Structure 1
Amino acid sequence: MGSSMSEKLRKLVVGILLAWALLCGVRAQAQYNREYFFWVGRSCMMNNDYQEAIRTLNTLLRFDEKAYEGYFLRGIAKYNLDDLLGAEADFSTAIRLNPVYTQAYTYRAITRSRLGNYDDALQDFREAIELRPDLPGPYYSRGVTRLLNQQFREAIDDFDMFIRQETKVADAYICRGLSYLHLKDTTRAYDNFNLAIRTNREDPNGYNRRGGLHLEQEQYEEAEADFNKAIRCDSNYLLSYFNRALVYNATNRPMQALADFDKVIRLDSTNSLTYFNRAMLRTQIGDYNRALEDYDRVALYSPNNVLVYYNRAGVYAQLGELEKAVADYTSAIDLYPDFANAYIYRGRLREVLRDPKGAKRDLETAQRKIAEYRSRLSDSTYSIYADTTQRFDRLLSFDSKFAGGSFDRITGHNGGREEMRLLPLFKFTLMRPDTAAAPNPYRLQRVEDFLARVGDDLLTLSCRESNIAPDSLLAIDRRRAEELKAGDASWITQFERGVSQALIKQYTNSVNTYTAAIDRNPSNPFLYFNRSTTRAEMIDFISSIDNSYQRITIDSDPANRLNNNSKRTYSYDEAVADLNKALKLFPDFAHAYYNRANLQALSGRLPEAFEDYTKAIGLNPSFAEAYYNRGIVQIFMKDTRKGCLDLSKAGELGITEAYEVLKRYAQTQD
């Protein structure tokens, strides 16, 4: 009560003083008022009242547009409110007014680093260090940026420079240790984590980093000791409990592991990875009904993840609910038709259910998938990851599987908040006419000519799922295959087969078929366009198995974000290259800019994604999907106000999903 009253009094006094200062007259007391407003702005920021600081500094800048320190302080306030674009603009103004303002370069660099614009951030750090090579701060911040940009040796050099001047900052040792870890130098990584712990024995992060290294090296006793110390430092530090559960599981103490997973879920009730791990652990100890509850929760949060259905099918089989098990294996196969294991186990269940034909068909399909995989082991394409004959009952680790890349796959798992997904890529696909759909006012003659040339009434350009039944799609694909077998190898037939193969999720075959079509007609932009989409979809399915349970967690600590990166990364470079080729052949193709923006966003390059969405909107001012996705990207770039304006426009143009997102975010805007 007293604190609340003092806060109200403080604001009242500040308001009276500001009013008095204004009444005194700006000209008569110009220098005094200028210093006073600086003082009030700084005081507000010291009290973490950033919005009040911005209002105060706005008053100053109205009277003195050349006050570069005012723009700098306002930039810091905006940064602390996660308005990164606004902060960048203010730091840029401060630099324009004072080109030797070292701190403005440093803070703009940090802001650009958080925006994923590493090249410009590194240039700003270079300017700051050239202006003041004696300051330690820019070396540390540049080191973190280089870590994020995977320039590990250069990052170590920067942390060395920082540590020479500042020996008591634990995070510097942790970041240097992470750099060595990414260079596979575990000895030096371990030494740096030790230094971090000696520097600050109350920080759980150092113990967690060292414990994670012990865990990776199967030194379970040492790992457990470190995680215990981390928990003593902070009893609500989620990662400590999660990692200790992995230790307990590896040392055959399932009940203690379950207790730690329970604690993680109490701290974060939407943590799908923990539900998944707990489900596997419950299955191992025979607690099948509760394992089903956990898998059901994961399926709610991650409905397109193939392993959810595959593992849940095994639990149903243990409970004797064979029809439900077959249904889940079928769902896994629908999501990923190359899933050899799913065919094997479905075939065994069909045999028990007295369906010998179905069992034989599944076994033959599985054997064919395995043979195809083994024949491609020397292949460097994505098909080498198609082997699904491995086991999928091992627990997934937090660091390698949990948080993903810098943007953490927006189209993936978002703690159940489906409204935060990007709308999908556009492609030429097969759709039955939908009389309920709103007519699209945007027409491109070149697209219309292409559709007329192909001559398939079902072919359309859309980002929506096909409304044609799976059996019908299979029949269409068989017809296309028969046409090719009969000798019709025109680029049109090849293109149509590529479309049907992609729709039944035969991605590798679809890419190869599009490539054959491109060989026959290399100047057609739409062939590159569709091959790009198929390549991207193939990567998404591969990652759904390999990076099973990623969630969106934009971490403010760059070192944490880096360490959470998956061990295997998936590159959209080939898909982007196809779009670049399509745009070279057809520069006015708005949908190609839109697709490229999506892939930029999924790769963590948010400013580039924003630019491509803007280009798409420039070509098609009624491009509702581009407004929606640009709005989502701006929200993740912490420019929520502009993001909400774009979402509002998307809703106006017919994207109903926009209003669900606006309900969550519009209320936070002033």
Structure 2
Amino acid sequence: MYRKVVFFITMLLLPLAGRAQFNTDRLVTIGRSALYYEDYVLSIQYFNQAIMAKPYLYEPWFYRAVAKFYLDDFVGAEQDCTQAIDRNPYVVNTYELRGIARIRQEKFSDAIDDYTKALKYDPENRSMWHNRVLCRIQNKEYERALAELDTMAVHWSKYAPAYSMKAEVYMLQKDTAKAIAALDKSLEIDPYDGSTWTMRSIISLARKEWKDAEGYLDKAIHLLPKQAGNYINRALARVNQNNLRGAMADYDTALDIDPNNFLGHYNRGLLRSQVGDDNRAITDFDFVLKLEPDNLMALFNRALLLDRTGDLRGAIRDYSKVIDQYPNFWTGLQYRAACYRRLGMTKQAEADEFRVYKAQLYKSLYGIQPRLNKEQLRKRSDEDMDKYNQLVVADEQEMEHKYESDYRGRVQDRQVEVAFLPMFGLSFDRYHSDVTLYIPFDRQVDAFNQQAGKARRVYVNCNQAALDEPHSKALFSYIDSLSSGIGGTGGRIGAQSALLLRAVAYSATQNFEDAIGDLSEFIQNDTASSLGYWQRAVCQTKVNEFNASLGTDMAMKYANVIADLERAIKLNPQCAYLYYNRGNVYAARKDYARAIEDYTKAISLDQKLAEAYYNRGLAELFSQRTDAGIADLSKAGELGLYNAYSIIKRYAKGDKK
């Protein structure tokens, strides 16, 4: 990820260019800070300004490409990487990022070119070897992939994925024996890779070694408990061992994880039909037909179930749709004829029966009459209607490729992280919650708003939303208006208000350094207000987190944050958010005892402060006080932080990882 990217800045030392270079560096630094805090749209605005000022520098192009990649704009990321390479063709990370962006567009040959160029400069970069091999597999360049995997095995003999990728190539070449040997070698090196156990199970499933397949899938599910496909495959193995109860449980779990899984609903519907749970089987086939309205296999199975449960007209409707597509499907004609007879529609029943009789009499004219296949499985693409009662498997058991990259977006589909909630600070946005009406309130903030008069109001908030382009432009414009007025503002009170407001605006645009500058000036002019110390501590924490991600020791800076918060607490001792923020600083330093003490004080001042319960709960969990931690998280969930329940479930099951 951008946090780990190594880059080189060429300093221009010409006196006349020094100021412009400094400003460009500041824009890039602020943009990188916005990237760190996942404010991608805002970061792009800063990189745009840097590109306009110095279009010949490669860094703004590269970092803008990173931001676009996070936003799933892979075309834009590729184009910006190309611009960065034109300006500096010797930076390996740019080729790597462009390669990943091209992979996301399935431009595998172009990605191979990028990795090949980058490996000239960094031949020991294992991740790029890994990704290039996967691209060759996608391009069906199997022999070249095997040759490169042999090279990787020489350089990194203990790198398990090289052997699992080799196994995948052998499987694609239908050489099962070599695939098993490669997988065994991979598992010998790393027995904790769930995807390798999955691959091993696929071979056993293909060989109909059901018991072995189930054992391998048990290990895969233990390591990858949230992968629906493993449960679907284990259900298949269990059905073929007559363990219907276990198979049903696996289908239920798979559909809890992936509610729209076609194979899960279809096969569970067949299994429910087999055990006589007809009404719930109909529900499964209803869902399948919502996903695929033209799926005739599902339609015929639903017709059989409607027939059995007495909905004869519904059954005839479904039978007729199937027969329209397959006029010689004699089984369907026989079932429809039976429905017609039960409804007293003798003429229609006799017409269907005559068609079946004529086919049996003159089957030589229609070809050999199909008979039910004794096999229990069919491929999903197999449309032989006489296989309507067989479990479905995917046409190809494709491996889920894991491309190695530090540029993984974290915006889409994130699991709940066991991480402390952020500090409360001053913001132009109101605190928002989907499930609670809690409104953070502080007397000094309210006094400031009254004193500022018609100026923009500030609020106490801990969940600042990422800015879109219109809002970021509006904030930049607001900062400009405040800057032009600060020097000539009449009266000390007006100047102070403008300074604090501009600091809040800088904070919203991730420009924490300038915000700290304004807050320091605000504090010099007014030592009796807690707001300056409060917001400066929040901004300094943001700067510290970003710098710490680059490997800088921030111990002294954290001491400054504590000092600011202690001054703010002395000036405003009834403010729960200040104790909460200080608790966050202690928690970040793993001083959980002090953190818990501060969170407890915050709760005593505001018993509705859900974030304090949540963070105290985490601090208690990290201190091995599981019962107390779960109790606090339960209270946080009660107050509206429903993500707490995910953590409670995890720890209640004993997952302390």
TM-score (norm 1): 0.50
Matches of 2:213 and 2:382 in 1, distance apart?
A: 34
* Structure 1 counterpart of 2:353, one-letter code: A
Superposed, which structure 2 residues align to 1:496-575 within 5 Å? 557=402
* Structure 2 counterpart of 1:73, one-letter code: Y
Matches of 1:39 and 1:340 in 2, distance apart?
A: 73
Change (3 A) 1:210 1:195: same
Specify which of 296, 300, 303 is matched with residue 313 of structure 1: 303
2:127 maps to 137
Matches of 1:242 and 1:165 in 2, distance apart?
A: 37
- Conserved 8 A contact 2:146-2:166: yes
Change (3 A) 1:234 1:387: closer
- Conserved 8 A contact 1:180-1:188: yes
Matches of 1:99 and 1:298 in 2, distance apart?
A: 51
* Structure 2 counterpart of 1:393, one-letter code: N
CA deviation after TM superposition for structure 1 residue 198, in Å: 3.9
Matches of 2:59 and 2:357 in 1, distance apart?
A: 72
1:158 maps to 148
1:253 maps to 243
TM-score (norm 2): 0.51
1:225 maps to 215
2:352 maps to 358
* Structure 1 counterpart of 2:389, one-letter code: D
* Structure 1 counterpart of 2:196, one-letter code: G
2:384 maps to 388
Specify which of 99, 105, 116 is matched with residue 95 of structure 2: 105
Change (3 A) 1:45 1:26: farther
1:70 maps to 60
CA deviation after TM superposition for structure 1 residue 324, in Å: 3.0
Superposed, which structure 2 residues align to 1:184-583 within 5 Å? 184-335=174-325, 339=329, 341-343=331-333, 345-347=335-337, 349-350=339-340, 354=346, 355-361=349-355, 364=358, 388=384, 390-398=386-394, 400=396, 557=402
Change (3 A) 1:233 1:399: farther
- Conserved 8 A contact 1:344-1:366: no
CA deviation after TM superposition for structure 1 residue 115, in Å: 0.8
Over alpha carbons, which structure has the higher Rg?
2
2:80 maps to 90
Give yes or no for the alignment of 1:58 onto 2:48: yes
Matches of 1:39 and 1:321 in 2, distance apart?
A: 68
Change (3 A) 1:254 1:121: same
- Conserved 8 A contact 1:341-1:366: no
Change (3 A) 1:363 1:317: farther
CA deviation after TM superposition for structure 1 residue 316, in Å: 2.7
CA deviation after TM superposition for structure 1 residue 340, in Å: 5.7
Change (3 A) 1:371 1:176: farther
RMSD of the alignment, in Å?
3.7
Matches of 1:221 and 1:386 in 2, distance apart?
A: 26
SS of structure 2 residue aligned to 1:252:
coil
Change (3 A) 1:223 1:358: closer
Matches of 2:168 and 2:212 in 1, distance apart?
A: 19
* Structure 2 counterpart of 1:392, one-letter code: Y
- Conserved 8 A contact 2:160-2:186: yes
1:16 maps to none
Matches of 2:254 and 2:309 in 1, distance apart?
A: 28
2:419 maps to none
SS of structure 2 residue aligned to 1:396:
strand
Change (3 A) 1:128 1:293: same
1:178-229 deviation line (CA, Å, top 9, x unaligned):
1111111222222333344344444322222212222222222222222222
Specify which of 71, 96, 109 is matched with residue 119 of structure 1: 109
Which moves more between the two structures, 137-146 or 277-286? 137-146
Which moves more between the two structures, 262-271 or 272-281? 262-271
What percentage of aligned pairs have identical amino acids?
28
Change (3 A) 1:40 1:293: same
- Conserved 8 A contact 1:339-1:386: no
Matches of 1:367 and 1:88 in 2, distance apart?
A: 66
1:414-473 deviation line (CA, Å, top 9, x unaligned):
xxxxxxxxxxxxxxxxxxxxxxxxxxxxxxxxxxxxxxxxxxxxxxxxxxxxxxxxxxxx
SS of structure 2 residue aligned to 1:390:
helix
- Conserved 8 A contact 1:140-1:158: no
Matches of 1:373 and 1:34 in 2, distance apart?
A: 78
Give yes or no for the alignment of 1:183 onto 2:173: yes
* Structure 2 counterpart of 1:56, one-letter code: Y
* Structure 1 counterpart of 2:102, one-letter code: R
Matches of 1:253 and 1:369 in 2, distance apart?
A: 40
Matches of 1:36 and 1:373 in 2, distance apart?
A: 79
CA deviation after TM superposition for structure 1 residue 335, in Å: 4.7
Matches of 1:168 and 1:35 in 2, distance apart?
A: 42
* Structure 1 counterpart of 2:165, one-letter code: C
1:53-75 deviation line (CA, Å, top 9, x unaligned):
43333332222111123212322
- Conserved 8 A contact 2:130-2:403: no
SS of structure 2 residue aligned to 1:400:
coil
Matches of 2:297 and 2:230 in 1, distance apart?
A: 26
Which moves more between the two structures, 232-241 or 251-260? 232-241
SS of structure 2 residue aligned to 1:269:
coil
- Conserved 8 A contact 2:232-2:263: no
1:450-498 deviation line (CA, Å, top 9, x unaligned):
xxxxxxxxxxxxxxxxxxxxxxxxxxxxxxxxxxxxxxxxxxxxxxxxx
